[in-house]
């Protein structure tokens, strides 16, 4: 470390742009690299660090502080853990958490399972017109949540929605999607699944295509059937990508807001009220920033714990 000060001292005194103004002709390349090594990278990351400090780091810290206070503006005062206390005793918070958890445990496995099946199909050389199907299944993920939500609020309409009409062709009675607590949850799950399955399928497809073919050839020689090959080769090889999608989908679903906001408004009977939606209501309908921040931190904690558990359970075993 004794070298460090002497390395840095001349560089800080040298303007970063100096190399560009013709100084280089007289300096050895090795020396120049030393200059760039010290000041240029800091200039390059400055906008990012500045933005990060203002729009990420500060809000994360400020939010924690706000969660320990009550009142807004000049009337804000420190109330310690009161908001967290309140949260633990708030039936609506538990309802929201329960709804979010329910949607999570049904939706994430359903979606990722489907995505894996679609990816296996898209990866099979036995299928005609693969690029077309790949394009089609990916398209929903481009749509904004609001556009998708609006679209499905009509498609899921009980009396005249497209879905009930299609079901009626198969002799299935009208379902009161969005109208009954149970079916509203199913409806929300359906819409999210429609929205993101293709996206995950395309990610899986890339993972499948990265698995060395020799592994499969060798397994075939050893007499392994298709299911055995899937379990012993495909799944372990895909593990990093599976982990990534599980973690990302979990984070996404835990933050679920747009779909219920547009589709159900959290109803009926709070059946689709999610934690983020409850947070939004407290923060921006009732302007109870302290409580909303406590909700945000509770959610962040849940995300962190779940993410950690998932990484521990599914990550590389060494």
* Interface with another protein in residues 98-157 (CB under 8 A): 118, 121-122, 124-130, 132-133, 135-140, 142-155, 157
Q: Give, as ranges, the residues between 273 and 312 that touch another protein (CB under 8 A).
A: 276, 279-280, 283-284, 289, 292-293, 296-297, 299-300, 303-304, 307
User: Segment near another protein (CB under 8 A), from 55-63, 79-87, 102-110, 221-229?
Assistant: 55-63
CB-nearer residue toward another protein: 146 or 218: 146
Pairwise CA distance, residues 184 & 180, whole Å: 6
> Of 49-57, 97-105, 211-219, 225-233, which segment contacts another protein by CB under 8 A?
49-57
User: Alpha-carbon distance 180 to 56, whole Å?
Assistant: 39
Distant-in-sequence, close-in-space partners of 276: CB < 8 Å, separation ≥ 6: 254, 255, 256, 257, 299
92 or 142: whose CB is closer to another protein? 142
> Where does this chain touch another protein (CB under 8 A) — which range of 94-102, 213-221, 228-236, 252-260?
252-260
The footprint of another protein on residues 165-224 (CB under 8 A) is: 165, 194, 197-198, 202-203, 206-207, 210
- Interaction between residue 260 and another protein (CB under 8 A): no
Instruction: Tell which one of 42, 94, 182, 286 touches another protein (CB under 8 A).
Output: 42
Minimum distance from CB of 290 to another protein (Å)? Answer: 9
Q: Work out how close the CB of 91 gets to another protein at its nearest, in angstroms, rounded to a whole number.
A: 21
Size of the site for another protein (CB under 8 A): 105
The CB-of-94 to another protein minimum distance in angstroms stands at 18
41 or 236, CB closer to another protein? Answer: 41
Instruction: Give the CB-side neighbour count of residue 119, counting CA atoms within 13 A.
Output: 26
Residue 63 contacts another protein per CB under 8 A? yes
Degrees, nearest 5: CA angle 54-59-61: 115
Q: Is 3 in the site for another protein (CB under 8 A)?
A: no
List of long-range contacts for 9-12, beta carbons under 8 Å, 24+ apart: 10/35, 11/35, 11/37, 11/38, 11/39, 12/38, 12/39
- 161 touches another protein by CB under 8 A: yes
| C-alpha pair distances (Å), 300 with each of 58, 92, 270, 284 | 16, 18, 22, 19
The single residue among 52, 78, 182, 286 that binds another protein, judged by CB under 8 A, is: 52
Task: Pick the binder of another protein from 9, 10, 31, 60 (CB under 8 A).
Answer: 60
């Amino acid at each position: 470390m004794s070298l460090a000060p002497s390395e840095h001292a001349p560089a800080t005194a040298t303007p970063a742009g100096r190399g560009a103004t013709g100084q280089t002709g007289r300096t050895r390349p090795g020396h120049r690299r030393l200059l760039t090594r010290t000041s240029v990278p800091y200039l390059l990351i400055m906008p990012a660090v500045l933005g990060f400090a203002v729009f990420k780091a500060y809000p994360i810290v400020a939010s924690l502080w706000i969660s320990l206070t009550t009142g807004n503006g000049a009337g804000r005062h420190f109330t310690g853990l009161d908001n967290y206390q309140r949260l633990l005793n708030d039936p609506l918070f538990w309802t929201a958490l329960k709804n979010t958890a329910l949607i999570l445990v049904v939706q994430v496995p359903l979606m990722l399972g489907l995505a894996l099946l679609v990816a296996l199909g898209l990866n099979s050389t036995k299928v005609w017109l693969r690029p077309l199907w790949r394009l089609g299944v990916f398209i929903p993920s481009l749509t904004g949540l609001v556009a998708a939500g609006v679209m499905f609020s009509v498609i899921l309409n009980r009396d005249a929605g497209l879905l009930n009409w299609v079901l009626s062709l198969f002799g299935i009675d009208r379902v009161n999607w969005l109208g009954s607590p149970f079916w509203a949850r199913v409806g929300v799950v359906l819409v999210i699944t429609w929205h993101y399955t293709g996206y995950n399928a395309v990610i899986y497809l890339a993972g499948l295509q990265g698995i060395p073919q020799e592994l499969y050839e060798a397994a075939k020689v050893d007499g392994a059937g298709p299911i055995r090959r899937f379990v012993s080769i495909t799944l372990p090889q895909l593990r990093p990508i599976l982990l990534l999608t599980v973690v990302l989908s979990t984070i996404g679903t835990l933050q679920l807001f747009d779909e219920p906001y547009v589709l159900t408004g959290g109803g009926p009977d709070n059946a689709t009220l999610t934690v983020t939606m409850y947070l939004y209501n407290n923060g921006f309908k009732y302007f109870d920033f302290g409580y909303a921040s406590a909700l945000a931190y509770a959610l962040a904690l849940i995300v962190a714990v779940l993410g950690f558990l998932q990484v521990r359970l599914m990550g590389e075993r060494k």
